Structure 1
Amino acid sequence: MTDVMLLWDNPLLFEKLFEENGLKCQRILSAALGTPFLPACKCVIVPTGFANSAYTKILPGIERNGKAFEKFVSAGGVLVVFGALVTTYDHKWLPMELTYTEKHGETHLHRVGEHEAQCIVADPGMVVECDGYFSSTDGDVILNNDDGQAVMVVKKVGEGMIIATTVHEFPSPDFLGCVMDNARRSKL
């Protein structure tokens, strides 16, 4: 039974993180989105660089399948989307407003309100890498960078949730636990 589907077209070091935390991870191609062949899972992750053709070719499949993502999240799944790694990117395939702006640098993470997903890094006081920020959103901003720009946004959609972040670090075990605790197995 799959816990996490990692949307990418070649092996990633990221996959080892899930194994180390006792989660069953399956890497899938974007061409498989919306087909009846994918098993149900709790979480779908779109890694950093998904919109940059120098890293991957998954973007066309993602952009064609916005309804599949909305259905997955509405039924209780959690969709985690990392930075696009292009100058600017409008996430038109998401059931929310979200615009990314690329800006690499080190920053502290500043909490906005309280949310379980703020545990994306193990030590909240450490300086982290971010690859950009969200210049516009209709989601709830839960983390800002040192310049007051949104680097983590959440939006409840139906029974599930979308988490978008530009934090360019492997997520903490607590974050993975939070995602699993808040997700319900759903078909993509």
Structure 2
Amino acid sequence: MKSKAGIAWECEGYIHRYLGDCGINCEAVTPQLMAAPFFRGNFIAVIIPTGFANPVYSGLLPALRASSERIRKFVQKGGNVMVFGAMTDKPKVYDWLPFELEYNYEYFSSGILVREDHQFSSVMDDFDITDLEMDGYFSGYGGNPLAETRDGKAVMIAEKYGDGHYLVTSIHEFPSREFLKKFCSGDAEILF
């Protein structure tokens, strides 16, 4: 079993350290690398941190849009992609995903309800889910959310796509360590 994740961001940061502490090998994937046709990273998961669509924090959104087909193929072949909150009120910032999803930027605290019947139900096991920070919520999604606030706002979406998964969250916390180990581990790395 191998554990490896690509972290889409301009430089290494706190998330690299957290995943490293979980025993997951990490590699930085800058926006320039992501959009470059010659880049051939091999990963089990790709993680896109909070603020990816806000130009104050990151220049990642144009690269995600330019690489949407590459990302789809990666997931279809069995890769996992975890996407955090966009941190912007601009519309259509998740338009590079292969399913409909609208993000509503709003910073708030709430308890959440996580679907216990889902394979990713352990995602928040390290946290008290009665009071978590969110940077927004999702609307326009046709499936059942993995997690919702008590008043029904979708804050985590899990979408199977081919042999892999997309996990999209606006919860402003890292997922549980055990969940990340599973999400970023597999029998073989997949070409990104």
Aligned counterpart in structure 2 of residue 114 of structure 1, from 113, 117, 123: 117
| Mapped contact 1:160–1:183 kept (Cα < 8 A) | no
| Mapped contact 1:117–1:178 kept (Cα < 8 A) | no
- Give the SS at the match of 1:116: coil
| Mapped contact 2:23–2:181 kept (Cα < 8 A) | no
- TM-score (structure 2 length as normaliser): 0.90
> 2: CA distance between counterparts of 1:160 and 1:79?
8
| Mapped contact 2:3–2:186 kept (Cα < 8 A) | no
Amino acid at match of 1:144: E
Q: Does 1:96 find its partner at 2:74?
A: no
> 2: CA distance between counterparts of 1:117 and 1:89?
28
Structure 1 ranges of 4+ moved more than 6 A: none
- The alpha-carbon deviation at position 138 of structure 1 amounts to 2.9
Equivalent in the alignment of 1:130: 134
Aligned counterpart in structure 2 of residue 153 of structure 1, from 145, 154, 157: 157
- Give the SS at the match of 2:19: helix
1:40-75 CA-partner distances (Å, limit 9, x unpaired): 100001100000000011111111111001000000
> 1: CA distance between counterparts of 2:98 and 2:56?
26
> 2: CA distance between counterparts of 1:171 and 1:108?
15
| Mapped contact 1:77–1:183 kept (Cα < 8 A) | no
Amino acid at match of 2:168: A
Aligned counterpart in structure 2 of residue 173 of structure 1, from 162, 174, 177: 177
| Mapped contact 1:140–1:155 kept (Cα < 8 A) | no
- The alpha-carbon deviation at position 183 of structure 1 amounts to 8.0
> 2: CA distance between counterparts of 1:59 and 1:31?
11
Amino acid at match of 2:39: F
- Gap runs ≥5 in structure 1: none
Amino acid at match of 1:172: S
Query: Which region of structure 1 is more displaced relative to structure 2, 103-112 or 50-59?
Result: 103-112
Q: CA RMSD in A?
A: 1.9
- TM-score (structure 1 length as normaliser): 0.91
> 1: CA distance between counterparts of 2:186 and 2:152?
27
| Mapped contact 1:43–1:183 kept (Cα < 8 A) | no
- The alpha-carbon deviation at position 174 of structure 1 amounts to 1.9
